[in-house]
Amino acid sequence: MQRFETYLSENLPKAPSFHPVYEDALGVMLLAGGKRFRPLLLLSIVDAYQPLLYEGALPVALSLEMFHTYSLIHDDLPAMDNADLRRGHTTLHKRYDEVTAILVGDALNTDAFLRIAQAPFREDVKIQLITLLAINGGSAGMVLGQSIDCYFENKPLTLAQVKTLHQNKTAKLIATSLQMGAVIVGLDTPTQKALYDFGIDLGLLFQIQDDIIDETQSEEEAGKPTGNDGDKNSFVNLLGLEQTVIEADTLAKDLQRRFEDFDKKLQMALDPLMNRYLNRHN
């Protein structure tokens, strides 16, 4: 974690100009903290199988954090969630203005792909990595999930539809973080698929847990606005808190069982993250 934090702080986006706040605004939400879950998934796999590639993988890990951060900045905008707090800090559109927040999000989105393009890997590997991030983060992935989420506020969905929403909005970026790590170290296609499928359900669990946290924690505890999902198609709104906790427990147990089927090297690499996050709803 510390190696990634150091790399991030030394490699923030830079755009020196006469604009009074733009360059500072590019780094504010990156430096605000967060779980760094997606880059750490990728780096854990690289460290387990090819530790000599760890330094080269840092730009790709940063690209994931930049892309995720762009999505949070846009998610907080008045047209979407209109949030005041993110990662325990004032959101960009509140700290500066809405235009700055939109443009910083746009910049982080675009620069994420530049970081991969400049990583010290073979061209075919970089093309795979860029393709995976684009597929899972774009029109058939995260953006699709956000679109469904916004359009269907105050319009109840079925459980299957809510799962589809969050598989796109949250899970696909987590799943592709695992697969991108596997691509960097050259794991075979069946292992990549197993990691991706595991990541989809891990991402779904992450969202269920977030819904529980929104219902049970204060803004100070969560580091973002809570009790704010009344109009959303959340698992708690659909199932109630008690049944949502049962859903999270069931999924966490299934993920633990599947995790134990991975080879020992992969288990050792991911075990700290699994211990920290599989049961964070309890």
| Dist. CA 156–CA 237, nearest whole Å | 9
Q: Where are the domains of the chain?
A: 2-277
What single-letter amino acid sits at 247? E
| Dist. CA 69–CA 73, nearest whole Å | 6
User: Which of the residues in the chain have pLDDT under 50?
Assistant: none
| Dist. CA 209–CA 18, nearest whole Å | 43
Please provide residue 89's backbone torsions phi and psi, each rounded to the nearest 5 degrees.
-125, 160
Q: Which pLDDT does position 225 carry in this prediction?
A: 58
| Dist. CA 7–CA 90, nearest whole Å | 24
SS (H, E, C) the chain: CHHHHHHHHHCCCCCCCCCCCHHHHHHHHHHCCCCCHHHHHHHHHHHHHCHHHHHHHHHHHHHHHHHHHHHHHHHCCCCCCCCCEECCEECHHHHCCHHHHHHHHHHHHHHHHHHHHCCCCCHHHHHHHHHHHHHHHCCCCHHHHHHHHHHCCCCCCCHHHHHHHHHHHHHHHHHHHHHHHHHHHCCCHHHHHHHHHHHHHHHHHHHHHHHHHHHHCCHHHHCCCCCCCCCCCCHHHHHCHHHHHHHHHHHHHHHHHHHCCCCHHHHHHHHHHHHHHCCCCC
| Dist. CA 211–CA 119, nearest whole Å | 36
For the domain spanning 2-277, the CATH number is 1.10.600.10
Cβ–Cβ under 8 Å, residues 237 and 210: no
- CB count within 10 Å of CB 224 equals 22
CA proximity to 165, closest of 139, 145, 189: 145
Q: Which pLDDT does position 229 carry in this prediction?
A: 60
Q: Which pLDDT does position 255 carry in this prediction?
A: 96
> Could you read off the pLDDT of 18-76 as tens digits, one per residue?
999 999 999 999 999 899 999 999 999 999 999 999 999 999 999 999 999 999 999 99
Both tokens of residue 267?
């288990």
**Burial call 48-74: b when 16+ CB within 10 Å, e when fewer:** bbbeebeeebbbbbbbbbbbbbbbbbb
